[in-house]
Amino acid sequence: MSKKVVIVGGVAGGATTAARLRRLDEKTEIVMIERGEYISFANCGLPYYIGGAIQERDALLVQTVEGMSRKFNMDIRNLSEVTRIDRERKVVEIKNLKTGETYEENYDVLVLSPGASPIKPPIPGINEAEALFTLRNIPDTDKIKAYVDEQQPKKATVIGGGFIGVEMAENLWERGVEVTLVEMADQIMAPIDFEMASILHQHLREKGVNLVLEDGVKTFEKNGKLINLNSGKQIDTDLVILAIGVAPENKLAKDTGLELGLRGAIRVNERLQTTDDSIYAIGDAIEVKDYINGQATHIPLAWPANRQGRIVADHINDIDSKYQGTLGTSIAKVFDMTVAATGNNEKTLKRLGISYDVVHVHPSSHAGYYPGAFPIALKLIFDRETGKIFGAQAVSYDGADKRIDVLATAIKGGMTIFDLPDLELAYAPPYSSAKDPVNMAGYAAKNIAEGLVETVQWHEINDILADGGYLIDVREPIERDMGMIEGSVNIPLGELRERLGEIPTKEVYVYCQVGLRGYLATRILMQAGFKVRNLDGGYKTYS
Amino acid sequence: MSKKVVIVGGVAGGATTAARLRRLDEKTEIVMIERGEYISFANCGLPYYIGGAIQERDALLVQTVEGMSRKFNMDIRNLSEVTRIDRERKVVEIKNLKTGETYEENYDVLVLSPGASPIKPPIPGINEAEALFTLRNIPDTDKIKAYVDEQQPKKATVIGGGFIGVEMAENLWERGVEVTLVEMADQIMAPIDFEMASILHQHLREKGVNLVLEDGVKTFEKNGKLINLNSGKQIDTDLVILAIGVAPENKLAKDTGLELGLRGAIRVNERLQTTDDSIYAIGDAIEVKDYINGQATHIPLAWPANRQGRIVADHINDIDSKYQGTLGTSIAKVFDMTVAATGNNEKTLKRLGISYDVVHVHPSSHAGYYPGAFPIALKLIFDRETGKIFGAQAVSYDGADKRIDVLATAIKGGMTIFDLPDLELAYAPPYSSAKDPVNMAGYAAKNIAEGLVETVQWHEINDILADGGYLIDVREPIERDMGMIEGSVNIPLGELRERLGEIPTKEVYVYCQVGLRGYLATRILMQAGFKVRNLDGGYKTYS
Ligand SMILES: Cc1cc2nc3c(=O)[nH]c(=O)nc-3n(C[C@H](O)[C@H](O)[C@H](O)COP(=O)(O)OP(=O)(O)OC[C@H]3O[C@@H](n4cnc5c(N)ncnc54)[C@H](O)[C@@H]3O)c2cc1C
Ligand SMILES: Cc1cc2nc3c(=O)[nH]c(=O)nc-3n(C[C@H](O)[C@H](O)[C@H](O)COP(=O)(O)OP(=O)(O)OC[C@H]3O[C@@H](n4cnc5c(N)ncnc54)[C@H](O)[C@@H]3O)c2cc1C
Ligand SMILES: CC(C)(COP(=O)(O)OP(=O)(O)OC[C@H]1O[C@@H](n2cnc3c(N)ncnc32)[C@H](O)[C@@H]1OP(=O)(O)O)[C@@H](O)C(=O)NCCC(=O)NCCS
Ligand SMILES: CC(C)(COP(=O)(O)OP(=O)(O)OC[C@H]1O[C@@H](n2cnc3c(N)ncnc32)[C@H](O)[C@@H]1OP(=O)(O)O)[C@@H](O)C(=O)NCCC(=O)NCCS
Ligand SMILES: [Ca+2]
Ligand SMILES: [Ca+2]
């Protein structure tokens, strides 16, 4: 007997489940219910349609109700909201939003992929704010785009420096709007750590974005045209985008008594079944296991939603397949730069009390002598005993995406830092170097693990100097003119061997521009009997 | 007691060994002997300096004799050739090419990284050819560049369609020279298979390169200004670049009785020791183990040379480290396109009698709705029983390098096709899709391994039709207008379920544009009781 599967939500997770269900079994009865007008649209493209990089609205509509129904022989009902689940009777209650009529539909299997909704906290004045928008779907997009097209706002304020906030800042800027970006934390882009985000802060400021960190909205005034921040600062604005995060759409699950987890996300097992094994849940609505540390987490991204949708369809058809947890690999374009990350960052590891080591390298995106190369700020976080890779972060004008994908693959392949030098990656001058940046990060990490070098981090150096530490700058004098650490002594690398006698103490710190010459100096000094630490990432990471 | 290490060859392998030796031990006596004037130059950049993309000659010189001597405290002797090895006495004989004087130098350890030299066969007329060049080093480059700058040749002929030949074709074209490229095989770029190379053939022809396949040079006439090909064809030319491959520089090794292997390459063990364990050999001069199939092979690329140099330095310092063999990951820019590959191709597997399966997919380099996306022709070769990945090939205007690096990493991580769907790669519209091309190739391969679809390859379909096979084109009629397989019957995917009755036989073949809709049709037909095969890669791979 063929099954009847009802799917709640017709976009990333839902539509993927439906498509795979049909490919596996022509006889399954598939009913996909979507509250909105559109199914299968490109959520991730929405900011770029507002900004103009994507010109055709139709390009956002990956599948239409008609097209998908026909291609996959399924019953797709848009403008229809599932309002209740009756687990006893295995029926859902559906409200037809065009007619207002409510009816029931029975299921053998129910798949929940309802997504998440933008968080809108009860800030005083928020309900009176006229040009305040959140962005989740096509109607949201239409509203924002119409406002920008028609009202030609001069100033916009984006609240929240996560992916969507930063993408909206860029896209409004592309439209010629003056943008203020307000973020509560001391950095934007939570998946990366502070010193990496600092590169982006500088880039945003260079582009003319008014970046306000460590501040939040206290009240909106004048119908949202005036924003009072916690700091007392005031911002005049024509338009507000609220992008401070999303909350799992858990109402249906909660009302029917399914177990919820972190931040109210629906709890599922490895097969993505909720506590009712006839009901699966996937996508932004669910709690997942962090692939690195095994803890519960909530990672609302498109890859997991797509992957989970396919796994559920497989499992419904008795093909065994487990979801391995989420690594949190993520990426964003930030004006001319790219930021990408995978695995855990320092903040997470600290919170969990996991000890780790870090290297920062700044290799060229491809051979430095071939045009178009840019340094990649590449950070690797690892365990020096086991070599386990906890995570990696990259910021660059070029080539960050590739290196993070390679490292995400290495992590999934169970590789350690000791394996990274052996990654045989594709090299020709336009693409990489004979030692790829990932090899280089591996070498640098391995040198720490094997005791060839000890490092000190960018945030430790000022205290060390204050305590009377002896810091040697091994760069050339001319490089110091462009920026140096106050209190450091200059002995260029090429003169170090001859000038060892000038060093008044046996305990020293060294630094150079990116860490490479500092490492060479460290090797010379160590072998000359000094206790020495190299500033990881050099002046570049420090500054 | 500290060791004395003598290194023969001061570029990729040699200079890397030397640098790492010094980092590991300040006391090692390091003597690096280089025949040429320059050490540590960017071999791989040479074509781009001739073409003009690299404008400064100095950019090619990564390290100078003086700079490197000072930085690493080593004895570097350029314009000095090692002419003989006396293994009994552990000395090398060195000829000073400036003075003509010959002297001896003793060693504890000898490292050979002499590279390879361009093959120059005894073709009649070759020695009289005036403007015939090979390209290996800076003097070669200077000569070619001077000829192009001063003689302003109108026509050039490149013999050999490997990396260097194709790069030279592009770079001469960039200089406004009309280029003919002559290749003996039926395809350029040996690391990939014919149907993948065909995309490049078309691209070269579109650019105006006169591509001559399956032909070779019989004789040169008129001081090299007239080339007679084996086919009888004649080519007038102002300039000839001979780039038909390289042969290991094995004379020293051979004369002193070290064991040689494939194509005369120096045989080494996993620690890169020759049959004399005081003598290591690395780089283009050595035979390596193919990482995929374990056979001896010769892969003259920069990554292996660099990696091996570091391993040797480690081993000399009693740090254990083995060379794992070479995967042969390679890449080249071919005008506006990129070709990249890793592991074994079909040609190699066939030669070795290894059975394999293949999938071709053509996913977008990033979200199709975001500007600048291009399809990637991505080929995966695998074992359907074990899931082992034998190799992968990619050709595209964008994103080929990233996917091959990810797959090379997956191979090194021991991952199979069954792991590829779980690679959590970085997704935002400018970089990828929610299912990355690598995930997609994994899905497609897994579907074959799990019996969800059977495929037929592009080279089999004409025979099948000739034998009366029934081939259904499931594309829309309008797509057929732009090219179709003669003899196929059109039933668009959307109508297939209703039109099953029209199909006169139970054994059918299907195709679409890239293989995706063909797969959907296959699923429908299989479940309706047909025996069906989908044309892998669709019309795109076929045509
Ligand atoms: C502006 C924006 C940019 C983004 N950019 C990226 C990016 O670059 N990279 C990335 O990885 N991710 C990105 N995302 C996140 C990504 O889109 C989501 O992770 C993904 O869509 C989640 O899939 P889902 O199926 O869980 O939810 P959704 O795709 O949101 O689908 C859920 C659907 O369920 C419907 N629904 C909810 N409740 C009901 C109900 N009771 N009855 C009927 N229907 C219901 C909703 O209307 C909604 O259409 C972005 C998201 C947004 C909004
Ligand atoms: C034009 C060109 C483009 C290339 N592009 C790429 C690319 O894009 N990607 C890639 O991976 N690889 C590329 N390569 C290949 C790459 O450069 C080589 O694989 C690499 O340089 C090999 O390193 P090696 O140390 O073995 O040899 P080499 O780097 O060639 O160094 C060998 C040196 O040894 C010296 N020598 C030889 N015999 C003696 C002796 N008896 N005494 C003293 N000195 C001696 C030679 O003069 C030579 O300088 C390219 C090569 C060329 C020529
Ligand atoms: C488009 C959508 C309906 C999914 O449909 P889908 O059919 O699963 O996905 P695709 O169209 O990419 O096709 C993938 C299938 O084609 C197969 N395939 C792809 N190329 C192929 C080829 N050349 N040959 C054979 N099979 C191929 C894959 O194996 C896979 O099939 P499988 O799952 O049975 O293994 C759904 O992803 C969606 O709605 N997306 C838009 C919303 C969204 O994802 N938002 C977030 C990101 S913006
Ligand atoms: C340049 C050349 C001399 C090699 O020198 P090298 O010192 O081994 O290589 P690099 O300068 O890239 O430095 C790599 C070292 O710096 C370390 N390093 C790099 N960045 C670092 C950082 N930010 N912090 C700390 N260490 C760093 C690496 O760990 C590595 O050291 P290790 O081998 O001891 O682990 C040699 O590769 C060469 O001659 N190249 C040109 C020729 C060539 O390769 N041709 C073919 C390609 S065109
Ligand atoms: Ca690049
Ligand atoms: Ca791209």
Confidence at residue B543, expressed as pLDDT on a 0 to 100 scale: 87
A520 contacts B329? CB cut-off 8 A? no
B53 contacts A370? CB cut-off 8 A? yes
Residue with tokens 């006391």: B27
CA-to-CA distance for A503 and A395, rounded, in angstroms? 36
* Ligand that comes closest to the CA of residue B512: 3
Write out chain B residues lying below 8 Å of A365, CB-based.
none
**What does the block give as tokens for B237?**
């030319």
**End-to-end alpha carbon distance in chain A:** 67
Q: How many degrees, rounded to 5, is the angle at CA B173 between CA B168 and CA B176? A: 140
Whole-Å CA distances, A372 to A365, A426, B194: 9, 18, 31
B430 touches A: beta carbon within 8 Å: yes
**What does the block give as tokens for A512?**
């150079």
B405: nearest CA in chain A? A425
Q: Ligand 3: which of B432, B440, B535 to mutate, most ligand atoms within 8 Å of CB?
A: B440
Closest CA to A157 of A244, A287, A42: A244
Upper half-sphere CA count for residue A516 (Cβ side, 13 Å) = 13
Cβ-based neighbour number of residue A418 at 10 Å: 16
User: Residue range B232-259: average pLDDT?
Assistant: 98
Does the pLDDT at position B230 exceed 90?
yes
**What does the block give as tokens for A90?**
């295995």
Q: Which atom of ligand 3 is nearest to the CA of B421?
A: 35
The backbone torsions φ and ψ at residue B358, rounded to the nearest 5 degrees and listed phi first, read -135, 140
B523 contacts A424? CB cut-off 8 A? no
Q: Which residues of B261-279 are buried (b: 16+ CB within 10 A; e: fewer)?
A: beebbbbbeebbbbbbeeb
Of B4, B25, B29, B44, catalytic? B44
Stated length of chain A: 543
A327 contacts B424? CB cut-off 8 A? yes
CA-to-CA distance for B107 and B89, rounded, in angstroms? 9
Alpha-carbon Rg for chain A, nearest whole angstrom, is 26
B378 touches A: beta carbon within 8 Å: no
Closest chain B C-alpha to A229 CA, distance in angstroms:
31
Confidence at residue A43, expressed as pLDDT on a 0 to 100 scale: 96
Upper half-sphere CA count for residue B395 (Cβ side, 13 Å) = 22
B428 contacts A332? CB cut-off 8 A? yes
CA-to-CA distance for A503 and A297, rounded, in angstroms? 50
Write out chain A residues lying below 8 Å of B428, CB-based.
44, 163, 330-333
Q: Ligand 3: which of B357, B443, B455, B510 to mutate, most ligand atoms within 8 Å of CB?
A: B443
Closest chain A C-alpha to B281 CA, distance in angstroms:
18
Q: Could you read off the pLDDT tens digit of each residue along chain A, which spans 543 residues?
A: 689 999 999 999 999 999 999 999 999 999 999 999 999 999 999 999 999 999 999 999 999 999 999 999 999 999 999 999 999 999 999 999 999 999 999 999 999 999 999 999 999 999 999 999 999 999 999 999 999 999 999 999 999 999 999 999 999 999 999 999 999 999 999 999 999 999 999 999 999 999 999 999 999 999 999 999 999 999 999 999 999 999 999 999 999 999 999 999 999 999 999 999 999 999 999 999 999 999 999 999 999 999 999 999 999 999 988 999 999 999 999 999 999 999 999 999 999 999 999 999 999 999 999 999 999 999 999 999 999 999 999 999 999 999 999 999 999 999 999 999 999 999 999 999 999 999 999 999 999 999 999 999 999 999 999 999 999 999 999 999 999 999 999 999 999 999 999 999 889 999 999 999 999 999 999 999 999 999 999 998 898
**What does the block give as tokens for B89?**
């006495």
Residue A161 and residue A189 in contact, taking contact as beta carbons nearer than 8 Å: yes
Q: Which atom of ligand 3 is nearest to the CA of B427?
A: 47
Confidence at residue A1, expressed as pLDDT on a 0 to 100 scale: 64
Q: What is the pLDDT of residues B21-79, one digit of tens each?
A: 999 999 999 999 999 999 999 999 999 999 999 999 999 999 999 999 999 999 999 99
> ipTM surpassing 0.95, yes or no?
yes
Write out chain B residues lying below 8 Å of A405, CB-based.
402, 405-406, 425-426, 436
B303 contacts A427? CB cut-off 8 A? yes
CA-to-CA distance for A322 and A308, rounded, in angstroms? 9
CA-to-CA distance for A208 and A88, rounded, in angstroms? 58
B136-142 own/partner pairs: CB under 8 Å, 24+ apart: B136/B43, B136/B246, B137/B36, B137/B38, B137/B41, B137/B43, B137/B46, B138/B36, B138/B37, B138/B38, B138/B41, B138/B46, B138/B60, B138/B61, B139/B36, B139/B37, B140/B46, B141/B46, B141/B49, B141/B50, B141/B60
Q: Ligand 4: which of B11, B16, B74 to mutate, most ligand atoms within 8 Å of CB?
A: B16
CA-to-CA distance for B472 and B487, rounded, in angstroms? 9
Does the pLDDT at position B318 exceed 90?
yes
Instruction: Take atom 14 of ligand 3 and give the residue whose Cα is closest.
Output: B440
Q: How many CB pairs below 8 Å do chains A and B form together?
A: 246
Q: How many degrees, rounded to 5, is the angle at CA B333 between CA B217 and CA A340? A: 160
Instruction: Take atom 43 of ligand 4 and give the residue whose Cα is closest.
Output: B12
CA-to-CA distance for B387 and B422, rounded, in angstroms? 14
For residue A47, the one-letter residue type is P
Upper half-sphere CA count for residue A293 (Cβ side, 13 Å) = 23
Q: Which atom of ligand 2 is nearest to the CA of B246?
A: 53
For B17, residues 6+ apart whose C-beta sits below 8 A from its C-beta are B5, B7, B111, B113, B282, B309, B310, B312, B313
Confidence at residue A2, expressed as pLDDT on a 0 to 100 scale: 84
For residue A495, count CB atoms less than 10 angstroms from its CB and return exposed for 0-12, middle for 13-18, buried for 19 or more.
middle
For A339, residues 6+ apart whose C-beta sits below 8 A from its C-beta are A189, A192, A196, A200, A331, A332, A393, A394, A395, A400
Helix (H) or strand (E) holding A145: helix A138-151
Closest CA to B8 of B219, B365, B285, B378: B285
User: Residue range B488-495: average pLDDT?
Assistant: 93
Confidence at residue B1, expressed as pLDDT on a 0 to 100 scale: 64
A45 contacts B429? CB cut-off 8 A? yes
B140 touches A: beta carbon within 8 Å: no
DSSP, collapsed to helix, strand or coil, labels residue A540 as helix
Task: Tell whether the torsion through CA atoms of B427, B430, B435 and B438 is positive or negative.
Answer: negative
Cβ-based neighbour number of residue B386 at 10 Å: 11
CA-to-CA distance for A94 and A77, rounded, in angstroms? 10
Confidence at residue A147, expressed as pLDDT on a 0 to 100 scale: 98
B438-444 own/partner pairs: CB under 8 Å, 24+ apart: B438/B378, B438/B403, B438/B406, B438/B407, B438/B410, B439/A307, B440/B361, B440/B363, B440/B378, B441/B359, B441/B361, B441/B363, B441/B378, B441/B380, B441/B392, B442/B380, B442/B417, B442/B418, B443/A310, B444/B359, B444/B361, B444/B380, B444/B515, B444/B519
Residue A429 and residue A435 in contact, taking contact as beta carbons nearer than 8 Å: no
Residue with tokens 């930085």: B71
**Sheet containing A109-112: order of strands:** A75-77, A29-33, A4-8, A109-112, A279-281
**End-to-end alpha carbon distance in chain B:** 67
Confidence at residue B2, expressed as pLDDT on a 0 to 100 scale: 84
Confidence at residue B116, expressed as pLDDT on a 0 to 100 scale: 98
Residue B481 region by backbone torsions, left for phi larger than 0, else alpha for psi between -120 and 50, else beta: alpha
CA-to-CA distance for B311 and B320, rounded, in angstroms? 8
**What does the block give as tokens for B376?**
């990637």
A331 touches B: beta carbon within 8 Å: yes
User: Residue range B390-394: average pLDDT?
Assistant: 98
- Chain centroid to CA B188: 11
B344 touches A: beta carbon within 8 Å: no
Confidence at residue A360, expressed as pLDDT on a 0 to 100 scale: 94
Classify strands A132-133 and A116-118 as parallel, antiparallel or unpaired: unpaired
A465 touches B: beta carbon within 8 Å: no
CA-to-CA distance for B144 and B131, rounded, in angstroms? 9
B413 touches A: beta carbon within 8 Å: yes
For residue B297, count CB atoms less than 10 angstroms from its CB and return exposed for 0-12, middle for 13-18, buried for 19 or more.
buried
Locate all alpha helices (DSSP H) within B362-460, ordered by sequence.
400-412, 437-449
Is residue A44 annotated as part of the catalytic site, yes or no? yes
Write out chain A residues lying below 8 Å of B436, CB-based.
303, 405
